[in-house]
Amino acid sequence: MKLRRPRLHVQHSQSAFAEGNVRWTNLDLDPVPRHRRHWGPWSFIAYWISDAFNAATWQFASSIMAVGLGWRESLGIIALSFFIISFVIAANGAVGAIYHIPFPVIARASWGFWGSYIAIISRVILALFWFAIQNVNGGNAVRVMLGAIWPSFLTMGNGIPEGEGITTNGMISYLIFWIVQFPFLWIHPNQVRWLFIAKSVLVPVAWIAILVWAFVAENGGALFEQKATVTGSSYSWLFLGSMTSVLGNYATLSVNQSDFSRYSRSTAKWQLLYVPMLPIVFTFISFIGIAASSAGAARYYNNASIPWDPLDLISHWSSRACRFFAAFSFALASLGVNISANSISAANDLTALLPGYVNLRRGQIICGILSWCLVPWKILESAGNFLNFMSAYAVFLGPIAAIMLWDFWVLKRRKYDTLALYQPRNPIYSYGGWGVNWRAIVAFLVGVVPNLPGLIHSVNGSIPVGEGEHPYEFGWLLGFVGTSVVYVGVSWMWPCSESLVARAVMAEEVYDGIEVEGAGDGEEGRKEVGEKGMRNGYRERDVEG
């Protein structure tokens, strides 16, 4: 008699990918079959427009200006940063579009099965933090919306100590946003693209209207005349530090773009859309932030301070309807980016860590629950803290992105064995049987360690680190370049010949039952990989979510 597994376990397919390897996969980690690939070029364009329109992008330039640079430098930093990272996003996203597998599985090719946990854990921690940050942004938007409907809500008594960084009405708003967001955590990535399409229409219309207001109300304000208030070496370090902050904000998507591109029904070349599109879109949104902050400084603060928080600006408007709908656009923006950049990313990582118990749906729910434990409102207390957080975000992901990029495009010559990425006993990615590619570990440490003194100092300014804080100022670039040189160099000097396959093995071959040279475990050699249980397995996924 077949015993039923406890409901705590998630369902697995009976495909060749899961055969004997349920420790390393489940239905959501298996390669996406043809009939599940619903994302086309317009889906990705809508995805990125949706992702760009969020409060963090608005705050890029204005928060950079708040710490001492002028508006020209701010926009230049943003354009340059996204030009650089767009290549990395496109290169790593193409792997998912070609092989239709998520980031945690791709990481096995360069790190090994057990070594990949370093990359996965590094990213899941940061994704959880950023999810919590966006919850605060969304909660702040809800607070302005409620204040427009019920003005006394903004003046209600505060029962939370001032040092906590949040008020009672702020906590209520945070809770409301979290509850409204919760149902969206149940939506599978294949269906969530409709949320991105809706957001890519509604939010840009609202923000362009705010841009029009900025020029009609105050002709853009006086901040366009602002020059940098720092010079010499301080200017240079501040420039690099601000650039690292911008890069850090999208460092996650530079490694996990494959979590979405795996659902692509189009070719990998469409990932090149990001190179011209991202710098233009993100710089334009940051320009809206500058213009609106400038107009707000002139109208509401007599140019004495900069309302770098857009919700602070909106709260001064006299029209309650305008306040409500503008704040709604920011709430929707936070919701969309939280799903696209954070909850699904964290869910893929949690699924890879515990594939027997966690799938994408459960992973997103866990992400939503854990966000309460991170007290994110403390991170957003000032512009300086906001930039420090984004800099810290980049320290770990720059090296990870570098290892993935060079491993696929240079060392492995774009040839992965998809089936072997699910078979830990297969020698291809076992790296000597230990499941850890020591070359990736060494390169990762080289990229991260020089940034640690500056990271420590940014967390606790009372700890002196001397000149050690400067590498941290350009942590993403330092980590990416240093890791690239070391990983490629060490891999060429001490190559792992087992991981170099003669030809790529695609998911389609496995699903279609084509005989694959060298597929299977150990010495089985030539093995027919049938499609037994494939369609049944994906019908199970339909039921599961």
Residues in CB range of 370: below 8 A, 6 or more apart: 128
Tell me the pLDDT of the chain (545 aa) as tens digits. Answer: 444 555 677 766 666 777 656 789 888 999 999 888 988 888 888 888 888 898 888 888 877 887 788 888 999 999 999 999 999 999 999 999 999 999 999 999 999 999 999 999 988 988 888 898 889 889 999 999 999 999 999 888 888 887 777 889 989 999 999 999 989 988 887 778 888 888 889 999 999 999 999 998 888 777 677 777 788 888 888 888 888 888 887 888 899 899 999 999 877 778 888 999 999 999 999 999 988 988 888 888 887 777 778 888 898 898 999 999 999 999 999 998 888 888 999 999 999 999 988 999 999 999 999 888 888 887 766 656 666 666 676 788 999 999 999 999 999 999 999 999 999 888 999 998 889 999 999 999 999 999 888 888 776 777 777 777 788 878 889 999 999 999 999 999 999 999 999 999 999 888 887 655 544 444 343 344 444 434 433 433 333 33
pTM of the model: 0.87
If one counts the domains in the chain, the total is: 1
CA distance 362 to 367: 9
Contact, 344 vs 361, CB < 8 A? no
Q: Please give the C-alpha separations between residue 336 and each of 32, 209, 288, 330, 370, in angstroms, as whole numbers.
A: 23, 20, 19, 10, 19
CA distance 86 to 272: 8
Tokens of 375: 């007290």
- Whether 372 maps to a domain, the answer reads yes
- Whether 227 maps to a domain, the answer reads no
Tokens of 227: 């020059």
- Whether 152 maps to a domain, the answer reads yes
- Whether 334 maps to a domain, the answer reads yes
- Whether 471 maps to a domain, the answer reads no
Range of the domain at 57: 34-156+172-221+250-386+503-533
- Whether 296 maps to a domain, the answer reads yes
- Whether 444 maps to a domain, the answer reads no
The per-residue b/e assignment along 11-40, b for 16 or more CB within 10 angstroms, e otherwise, is ebbebbbbbebeebbbbbbbbbbeebbebe
CA distance 130 to 323: 26
| Domain CATH number, residue 324 | 1.10.4160.10
- Whether 407 maps to a domain, the answer reads no
